[in-house]
Amino acid sequence: MKQCCACNKNSFFPEMLGDIVLCKKCLIKIDGLMWKYRDFEKGEDFDKYRYKAITLANKNQFPASVIDGINAYFDQKQSKLKECAACGKRRQKTTNANNFIFCEECFSDIAECWKRKKYFNREELYNERDKVLKIAKEKNFPKEFIEQISPYFEDKVEKNWISTLDGNKGQTIEFYNDYLTIKTNKNFNEEEMQSQFNKLNSKININSEDLKSFKTIGKEIGKELISDVIPIPRAFKSMKILDMAGDKMIKHLDNSKTVSIKNYVKDGLRKVYYKDCFNTNLLFRNEEGITVGALLIITNNANVPDLLFFFDKSKINKIKKIRKILEEEMEKAEKKVDNDKKATGNQHFAKQIRELKGLLDDGIITQEEFDAKKKQLLDL
């Protein structure tokens, strides 16, 4: 039991306003039940109820100490409010964005864009950035905050990242400058995808003899092309790749046995470099009972397993776009490998010519021998 600071009567159930004690009756006189147990979101509401409580306290001739206690109580409550950097209003619920405080009302229009962590391509990211910039300027966000918007969105772009696509079937494919990744998560339904893959694959009907012919003809054509455009030392390796790729194509086309998708799909993240990719095959049938498509990525490296990316049929147009991206990156990687080999070869030839020049300068070989060997090295 404590003595009320307003009426000096003892109370079994006193109400505390900081160090001030009020009985229930006196608390009701200043409309205390309307604000003591209430969380206010807006500073304006605090001001409204503070003014009303002080007015009623004066009207009921409460001591000055009680009025001071009421003010101290509201000051302590209001200290939890934060001022919005855009509108200047005080609010309890706020968002801290790059060390700037914004109320929900001001921040709501950019909240979704600002908090988003994953984008599927740079164009989408830049569109969101421009949207945030426009809203921030219209709502008079601080100049310092606006200057941070572009760098903030740039930081969301992972280094060398090109594009991302969620197939909505438990897999996500991402493209980078030198490689791609396919992430298979826990939502991937292996049994369902195996059934769908069997339906997609069953539409390919090639008998075993045709398959052998396919490999033989493809290999012979490849030999002719290689012998025309690729130097002999490189030709052997290229024919080996072609032979291996032919075997892989037969494996993919031969539907005499059910192919397990376990050969192509592994839990977690798989990474493959474009230089190790040989070809792509898009499995898609717009038929009843088939709800997915699959993008098959065939590699030219025996140590790098082929990959399958399953996607919802509604994603087919996006899949065609990313397949184009993949084939473009594969072509770039192939050219880079060729250029690197050419540069290495040139360095080797240059070294040999310098060694020959040293022999010439030392009088070990004649000028005619030097010229002949140089011509041979340069294949002139």
Whole-Å CA distances, 269 to 121, 265, 272, 299: 20, 10, 10, 17
Q: Which pLDDT score is estimated for 209?
A: 55
Residues 98 and 143 both lie in one domain? yes
Q: Which pLDDT score is estimated for 313?
A: 92
Q: Which pLDDT score is estimated for 228?
A: 45
Please tell me the distance from the alpha carbon of residue 357 to that of residue 370, in angstroms, as a whole number: 7
Domain-located, residue 115: yes
CA quadruple 78, 83, 89, 94: dihedral positive or negative? negative
Average pLDDT, the chain: 80
Tell me phi and psi for residue 372, to 5 degrees.
-65, -45
Query: How buried is residue 168: exposed, middle or buried, by Cβ count under 10 Å (0-12/13-18/19+)?
Result: middle
Q: Which pLDDT score is estimated for 177?
A: 83
Domain-located, residue 364: no
Domain-located, residue 197: no
Please tell me the distance from the alpha carbon of residue 149 to that of residue 143, in angstroms, as a whole number: 10
- Of 58, 80, 102, which marks where a domain is finished? 80
Residues 13 and 49 both lie in one domain? yes
Q: How many CA atoms, within 13 angstroms, populate the side-chain half-sphere of residue 185?
A: 9
Contacts of 122 (CB under 8 A, 6+ apart): 157, 162, 163
Domain-located, residue 354: no
Number of domains in the chain: 2
Q: Which pLDDT score is estimated for 379?
A: 62
Domain-located, residue 291: no
Residues 70 and 102 both lie in one domain? no
**How many residues in the chain?**
380
Please tell me the distance from the alpha carbon of residue 203 to that of residue 231, in angstroms, as a whole number: 40
**How does DSSP classify residue 33?**
G
Residues 7 and 51 both lie in one domain? yes
Residues 52 and 95 both lie in one domain? no
Residues 75 and 117 both lie in one domain? no
Q: 73 near 27, Cβ under 8 Å?
A: no
Domain-located, residue 371: no
- Of 137, 157, 177, which marks where a domain is finished? 157
Q: Which pLDDT score is estimated for 105?
A: 86
Residue spans of the chain under pLDDT 70:
39, 118, 120-121, 157-159, 202-258, 338-350, 377-380
Please tell me the distance from the alpha carbon of residue 210 to that of residue 110, in angstroms, as a whole number: 59
Q: Which pLDDT score is estimated for 123?
A: 78
Taking the mean position of all CA atoms in its chain, how far away is CA 60? 64
- Of 80, 102, 135, which marks where a domain is finished? 80
Domain-located, residue 133: yes
Could you tell me the end-to-end alpha-carbon distance of the chain, in angstroms, rounded to an integer? 112
Helix (H, G, I), strand (E, B) or coil at 76: helix
Please tell me the distance from the alpha carbon of residue 355 to that of residue 348, in angstroms, as a whole number: 11
Residues 56 and 28 both lie in one domain? yes
Domain-located, residue 239: no
Query: Which residues span the domain enclosing 19?
Result: 2-80
Q: Residue 37: how many CB atoms within 10 A of its CB?
A: 8
Residues 47 and 25 both lie in one domain? yes
Residue-by-residue DSSP string for 82-100: EE-TTT--EESSEEEETTE
Helix (H, G, I), strand (E, B) or coil at 144: helix
Helix (H, G, I), strand (E, B) or coil at 80: coil
